[in-house]
Amino acid sequence: MSKPTLDFRAIYDAHFDFVWRSLRRLGVREPDVLDLAQKVFLTAHFKLADFEGRSLVSTWLFGICQRVASDYRRSALIRREVSTDNAELDSVATWNEDLSDKSDSRRRARTAEAILNKLPEPQRIVFVLFELEEMSGQDIATLLDVSVGTVRSRLRLARDTFRREVKRLSAVNASGRKEAV
């Protein structure tokens, strides 16, 4: 019986960074990640007995991250802390500087996250795992327990949305600057 508890510590040490990154990727805002990572591991601790190595530890933890982040997103939406609203997105994304100005990386990150928030969750997950975590389509399919074909089609849809939003923001921004002049 002491084995799973020992393993829990090992799991924590080996996967903390993974859980942290996953939560960030799943739309959890930075100030909230610590709390939610804790929640993920607390859940994992109590579910460890059920886990029994039926999948990879990372797959299992990612599943918990998804549920925790999904609850979080729902309540954050209710509190209006995460916006998918165009007008608000535009205000976040209205730069005074040129879009490619290196100095404003924080604002760019917020903009990118705001765009990701517009993606339906299944697409968002595939998109970030592929584009940012640089996982292969096959690995993502295994992680999410879906087919590679599904992964590719979600990726395609997510990319379409992402690029459309970037173009739209770019246009909004250009016209905003013109008005300012």
Per-residue exposure over 114-131, b if at least 16 CB sit within 10 Å of its own CB, e if not: bbbbbbeebbbbbbbbbe
Task: By CB under 8 A, tell whether 176 contacts other proteins.
Answer: no
Copy the structure tokens of residue 15: 């996967």
Binding mask 4-23 for other proteins (x = CB under 8 A): xxx-xx--xxx-xx--xx--
Among 56, 96, 109, 147, binds other proteins (CB under 8 A): 109
Do 131 and 151 touch, CB atoms closer than 8 A?
A: no
Among 88, 163, 171, 175, binds other proteins (CB under 8 A): 163
Whichever of 160 and 179 has its CB closer to other proteins, that residue is 160
Task: By CB under 8 A, tell whether 115 contacts other proteins.
Answer: yes
Task: By CB under 8 A, tell whether 100 contacts other proteins.
Answer: yes
* CA 178 centroid distance within chain: 34
